[in-house]
Structure 1
Amino acid sequence: MPGDALYTDLSGYYDLMCADIDYRAQSHCVHRLQQLFGNGGTRHLDLACGTGPHVRHFIDAGYTSGGLDINQPMLDRAAARCPGAQFSLQDMCGFAVEQPADLITCFLYSIHYSAELQRLQACIASVHAALAPGGLFCFNAVDKRRIDNASFVSHTARHTDGLFTFSSGWHYPGEGEQQLLRLRIEKTVADQSQVWHDEHAMVAVSFAELSELLAPYFEVHVLEHDYEKIVPWDQASGNAIFVCVKR
């Protein structure tokens, strides 16, 4: 994928960008949350599913799992990874399902891709409508009031196309309903480097505001952002897992 085509279609590099993510641990944790808080059902839908790694883990755990995304190349890769699973090209802020889901997930802070509070509200309403009685909605989020604009996370991964370094960080200007996800990708081949920079507009919300948006639809539990253990949010950290039981 030469030149600027890298950023025209990132689907071929998506898994490389996410190489440091423990999909198994995340999926297993949410499976436990479904057993503890949900209705025990096994119909699962993953919002903003990307190339389907979480869906793969839920299928392996015995779920009837599928996903939706707004990027068709991502969905094509998801379908190849998860033969037989149902994937659909839909916006998570306005989607419909043929059968109610018992569990709906939205990993990797993708809930923020709703970009605006009005669209976030529409996403929450769509999820509620798509869930079966007692169904569970699980996602992770970042509190706009606790964002460190100088903080970035990075990892390096080797690909047949070269050595890649991926960096990302949040930026919140201090007011308003939007924050930025800033990305930097560096590709090195034979000591020659190319660098891409990008910014994605994301919805900015505090945990108090988010809980208020969810409350009419769900009983809300806020947990520490730790997929190895299930503990209540400490009221201080800027990242959390939201576990929402359909009212």
Structure 2
Amino acid sequence: MSYNALYTDLSGYYDLMCADIDYQEQSNCIRRLHQLFGNQGTRYLDLACGTGPHVEHFIGYGYQANGLDINQPMLNIAQQRCPQATFVQHDMCNFTVDAPLDLITCFLYSLHYNANIEKLMQCIESAYNALTENGVFCFNAVDKDKIDNSSFVRHTTEFEGDHFMFQSGWYYSGEGEHQQLQLHIEKTADNVTQSWRDNHPMVAINFVQLQQLLAPFFDITMFEHSYDKIVPWNGHSGNAIFVCVKKQNTVINQQAA
């Protein structure tokens, strides 16, 4: 087995790596939550949109859907998938928009890709500033104190005659504001297996801390990490969906304080 790097640009393998994700189910769940909590507007931005599968589904729901990601090769694929959408290469910690949005999402735990708590706070403020009245910021997150370093997910798929194995899992040392997404990919072709491993640095935070960061800007409702049904968070599980409705006059209130 070769442990040489299988690739240098993740974009070419991203859709294969995520082949087991039900993007339609995820998108439909968040659309339903937006109908329940939002202002019925359709101006939408997906942060860390990757190759654009969620954007594609929201376009199908009638949204004016666009995407933002830091990886331009990902965005090139997204643009081919959704030619009617606008995709912007930018860091999500300090983005701005030309017109107020009704819904902002950040799927697949991508909110954790902010480098540290300070950057995460900037991202939350950017989302707040980008939303219109009663706009909704929706994302999923993992509580650092509930991470099981021995747990991982794995799936296999075939592509162009080659066999792929993808494995990912969280790692948290137990202290500090940094965790990792550990990736392992194997590609087998003609009985030769190549292997690639990498650790993606992410910000670590628990749900109490995250709620404290969000509270000045949003009214927060948490749900169990289930996309096939809407269930309130049980207060114990380490994965959750956050639905955050923009508060009004936050800046004024902060200045007054």
- The TM-score with structure 1 as length reference comes to 0.97
**2: CA distance, partners of 1:246 / 1:136:** 6
| Matched residue, 2:123 | 123
After superposition, the C-alpha distances for 1:123-164 in whole angstroms (9 at most, x for unaligned) are 000000000110000000000000000001000011126211
Q: How does 1:110-189 map to 2 (within 5 A)?
A: 110-160=110-160, 162-189=162-189
Query: Alpha-carbon deviation of 1:230?
Result: 1.2
**2: CA distance, partners of 1:49 / 1:133:** 23
After superposition, the C-alpha distances for 1:86-145 in whole angstroms (9 at most, x for unaligned) are 110111001111111100000000000002000000000000000011000000000000
Query: Alpha-carbon deviation of 1:7?
Result: 2.8
**2: CA distance, partners of 1:38 / 1:88:** 24
Instruction: Check the 8 A contact 2:220/2:243 in 1, yes or no.
Output: yes
| Matched residue, 1:38 | 38
| Matched residue, 2:251 | none
RMSD (Å) for aligned C-alpha atoms: 1.1
Q: Name stretches of at least 5 consecutive residues in structure 2 with no aligned partner.
A: 248-257
Instruction: Check the 8 A contact 2:103/2:136 in 1, yes or no.
Output: yes
Query: Alpha-carbon deviation of 1:6?
Result: 4.1
**1: CA distance, partners of 2:81 / 2:5:** 23
| Matched residue, 1:15 | 15
| Matched residue, 2:227 | 227
Going from structure 1 to structure 2, the CA distance change for 1:10 and 1:157 (only over 3 Å counts) comes to same
**1: CA distance, partners of 2:12 / 2:176:** 34
Q: Name stretches of at least 5 consecutive residues in structure 1 with no aligned partner.
A: none
- Aligned partner of 1:9: which letter? D
After superposition, the C-alpha distances for 1:47-91 in whole angstroms (9 at most, x for unaligned) are 000000000000000000000000111001000000110110111
Q: How does 1:19-30 map to 2 (within 5 A)?
A: 19-30=19-30
* Residue 65 in structure 1 maps to residue 65 in structure 2: yes
- Aligned partner of 1:189: which letter? A
Instruction: Check the 8 A contact 2:20/2:155 in 1, yes or no.
Output: yes
Instruction: Check the 8 A contact 2:6/2:195 in 1, yes or no.
Output: no
> How many residue pairs get matched?
245
- Aligned partner of 2:152: which letter? F
| Matched residue, 1:55 | 55
- Aligned partner of 1:48: which letter? A
* Residue 206 in structure 1 maps to residue 189 in structure 2: no
- Aligned partner of 1:8: which letter? T
Runs of 4+ residues over 2 Å off in structure 1: 3-7
**2: CA distance, partners of 1:161 / 1:233:** 42
Find the residue that maps to 2:15 and give its secondary structure.
Answer: helix
- Aligned partner of 2:238: which letter? G
* Residue 74 in structure 1 maps to residue 74 in structure 2: yes
**2: CA distance, partners of 1:118 / 1:164:** 37
- The TM-score with structure 2 as length reference comes to 0.93
Going from structure 1 to structure 2, the CA distance change for 1:19 and 1:152 (only over 3 Å counts) comes to same
